């Protein structure tokens, strides 16, 4: 993770352009991506793909020729999607083109202007306050060309065509938590899942935020609508907080329900956010009313809730690679639980199964109240027996394993080994995605 981070961090990404393509190509070294491009000026639903932004240099010099902002030192210094400029102007006029954050005086802000042409520089407020009257030379060598918007995906096939979508964005320049935490976690989650038997097919998507997911939906929306079982948008997965999940618009996607279950049963100790269409990431597009896909969003240190959000304080030191590792671990658990959830069918549903035939029941029975002190040395493992009986009784095609776990006051993770045992003895079949009749 660390070396991937270091390769990706310096690149100046935007919603189009060379930085975006370079990022997708680097990711290709870790995950078998298929690449796609949409030509500039193409209509995608209510939007139009903008010209591709070429940024070669940006430098702001003061009256004494001192360099105030240099794109080559920190790519946040240039307004993202800035127009070109080469002018010597007064400080007063320059101020209209400067961006800084008064209450974070050392931070260089990240500012964008994708759809309205303007030029600008971003500097720390500290530095800005020291600017003296005089002539400033603003030089930005950028260009808008007919090019394309790029995105990529990798499909990891499973037993079923039903898909779990993992989507993340790659359009911010040098930021850690709010840019690289998502794609790096996605890459490593992919590698974990690739080594396992999978019930579901997994679709990993890397794209520029908003316009990228709208373009992706324009191309693959119908396919998603048909196949998607659940999905996650990954963003801001670093930091030392607990996981924070934003529910899908439906509020009852398999991942929504599993997230709640795993928190209710203390497997996780996360934060839950309800769905809102204002604020957030690409779940806003996946959950637009024409699609309404069962896609939530997973984060840890949520956008807008930390000092480094959208500025130069968002670094690897603040994000930490360790936290990404935890995020991948926890998402793997969440997905494992979703893989085993679903409906099961008891193959001997009339009366109880005669468990001792299968080695699952004590063959002599004394009173439960006295079992611990009883002189007969039965160790009948009452908890396992109770779980077996609950799973068999509720494997009726109408209760999910998650619901059965709740009836057992257990987490679904506690039941997975027993389900494997009962599947192995052919006492039950499943899991099935949908309800089904027992007969």
146-205 residues near its own copies, rule: CB under 8 A: none
CB of 397 to its own copies, least distance (A): 8
Give whichever of 156 and 404 is closer to its own copies, judged by the CB atom. 404
Residue 416 in the binding site for its own copies (CB under 8 A): no
Give whichever of 11 and 217 is closer to its own copies, judged by the CB atom. 217
Q: What distance in Å separates the CA atoms of residue 72 and residue 16, rounded to the nearest whole number?
A: 19
Q: Per CB under 8 A, which of residues 307..336 are in contact with its own copies? A: 307, 309-311
Residue 241 in the binding site for its own copies (CB under 8 A): no
Q: Which stretch binds its own copies (CB under 8 A): 251-259, 273-281, 332-340, 416-424?
A: 273-281
Q: Per CB under 8 A, which of residues 246..265 are in contact with its own copies? A: 249
Q: Which helix (H) or strand (E) holds 276?
A: none
Q: Per CB under 8 A, which of residues 40..59 are in contact with its own copies? A: 44-47
CB of 415 to its own copies, least distance (A): 14
CB of 327 to its own copies, least distance (A): 22
Q: Is 236 left (phi over 0), alpha (psi -120 to 50) or beta?
A: left
CB of 129 to its own copies, least distance (A): 11
DSSP 73: T
- Nearest CA-CA partner of 411 in 267, 279, 300, 297: 267
Contacting residue, 394, 401, 418, 431, with its own copies by CB under 8 A: 394
Q: Which helix (H) or strand (E) holds 260?
A: helix 254-264
Give whichever of 317 and 350 is closer to its own copies, judged by the CB atom. 350
Residue pair 235/211 in contact (Cβ under 8 Å)? The answer is: no
CB of 137 to its own copies, least distance (A): 21
CA angle 419, 421, 425 (to 5 degrees): 115
Q: Per CB under 8 A, which of residues 354..383 are in contact with its own copies? A: 354, 356-357, 363-370, 373-376
Pairing of β 148-156 and β 34-39: antiparallel
CB of 365 to its own copies, least distance (A): 5
- Per-residue x/- marks for its own copies, 208-237, CB under 8 A? --x--xx--xx--x----------------
Contacting residues for 123 by C-beta, under 8 A, at least 6 apart? 60, 68, 69, 77, 98, 99, 100, 108
CB of 130 to its own copies, least distance (A): 15
Give whichever of 150 and 288 is closer to its own copies, judged by the CB atom. 288
- Per-residue x/- marks for its own copies, 83-112, CB under 8 A? ---------------xxxxxxx----xxxx
CB of 211 to its own copies, least distance (A): 9
Residue pair 176/314 in contact (Cβ under 8 Å)? The answer is: yes
Give whichever of 338 and 387 is closer to its own copies, judged by the CB atom. 387
Give whichever of 44 and 54 is closer to its own copies, judged by the CB atom. 44
Give whichever of 288 and 411 is closer to its own copies, judged by the CB atom. 288
Residue 389 in the binding site for its own copies (CB under 8 A): yes
Q: Which stretch binds its own copies (CB under 8 A): 1-9, 29-37, 152-160, 272-280?
A: 272-280
Question: 176 is written with which tokens?
Answer: 């850690």
Contacting residue, 3, 92, 116, 133, with its own copies by CB under 8 A: 116
Residue 390 in the binding site for its own copies (CB under 8 A): yes
Termini Cα distance of the chain: 50
Residue 386 in the binding site for its own copies (CB under 8 A): yes
Q: What distance in Å separates the CA atoms of residue 308 and residue 295, rounded to the nearest whole number?
A: 27
Contacting residues for 370 by C-beta, under 8 A, at least 6 apart? none
Q: How many residues lie near its own copies (CB under 8 A)? A: 80
Q: What distance in Å separates the CA atoms of residue 216 and residue 224, rounded to the nearest whole number?
A: 10
- Strand arrangement, sheet containing 34-39: 34-39, 148-156, 201-207, 163-169, 228-234, 295-299, 244-246, 271-273
Residue 417 in the binding site for its own copies (CB under 8 A): no
Question: 230 is written with which tokens?
Answer: 């659940």
Residue 1 in the binding site for its own copies (CB under 8 A): no
**305 phi and psi angles, rounded to 5 deg:** -110, 15
Residue 432 in the binding site for its own copies (CB under 8 A): no
Pairing of β 201-207 and β 148-156: antiparallel
Residue pair 127/68 in contact (Cβ under 8 Å)? The answer is: yes
Residue 285 in the binding site for its own copies (CB under 8 A): yes
């Amino acid at each position: 993770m660390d070396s991937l981070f270091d390769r990706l961090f310096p690149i100046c990404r935007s919603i189009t352009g060379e930085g975006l393509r370079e990022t997708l190509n680097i990711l290709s070294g870790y995950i078998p991506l298929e690449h796609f491009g949409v030509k500039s000026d193409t209509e995608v639903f209510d939007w139009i793909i903008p010209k591709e932004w070429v940024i070669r240099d940006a430098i702001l010099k003061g009256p004494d020729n001192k360099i105030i902002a240099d794109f080559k030192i920190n790519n946040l210094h240039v307004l993202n999607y800035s127009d070109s400029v080469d002018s010597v102007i007064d400080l007063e006029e320059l101020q209209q083109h400067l961006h800084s954050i008064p209450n974070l005086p050392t931070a260089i802000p990240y500012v964008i202007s994708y759809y309205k042409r303007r030029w600008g520089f971003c500097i720390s407020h500290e530095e800005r306050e020291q600017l003296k009257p005089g002539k400033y030379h603003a030089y930005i060598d950028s260009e808008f060309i007919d090019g394309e918007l790029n995105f990529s995906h990798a499909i990891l096939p499973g037993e079923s065509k039903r898909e779990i979508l993992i989507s993340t964005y790659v359009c911010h320049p040098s930021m850690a938590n709010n840019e690289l935490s998502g794609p790096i976690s996605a890459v490593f989650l992919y590698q974990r899942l690739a080594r396992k038997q999978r019930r579901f097919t997994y679709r990993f998507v890397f794209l520029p935020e908003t316009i990228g997911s709208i373009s992706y939906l324009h191309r693959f929306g119908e396919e998603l609508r048909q196949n998607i079982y659940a999905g996650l948008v990954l963003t801001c997965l670093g930091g030392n907080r607990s996981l924070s999940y934003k529910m899908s618009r439906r509020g009852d996607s398999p991942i929504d329900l599993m997230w709640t279950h795993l928190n209710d049963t203390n497997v996780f100790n996360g934060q839950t956010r309800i769905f809102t269409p204002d604020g957030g990431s690409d779940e806003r597009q996946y959950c637009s009313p024409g699609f309404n896909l069962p896609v939530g969003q997973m984060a840890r240190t949520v956008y807008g809730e930390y000092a480094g959000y959208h500025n130069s304080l968002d670094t690897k030191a603040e994000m930490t690679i360790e936290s990404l590792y935890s995020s991948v671990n926890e998402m793997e658990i969440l997905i494992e639980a979703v893989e085993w959830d679903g409906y099961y069918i008891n193959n001997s549903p009339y009366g109880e199964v005669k468990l001792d035939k299968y080695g699952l029941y004590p063959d002599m029975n004394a009173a439960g109240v006295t079992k611990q002190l009883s002189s007969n040395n039965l160790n009948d493992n009452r908890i396992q027996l109770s779980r077996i009986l609950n799973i068999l009784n509720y494997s009726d095609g109408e209760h999910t394993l998650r619901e059965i776990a709740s009836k057992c006051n257990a987490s679904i993770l506690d039941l997975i080994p027993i389900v494997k045992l009962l599947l192995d003895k052919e006492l039950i079949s499943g899991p099935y995605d949908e309800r089904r009749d027992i007969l």
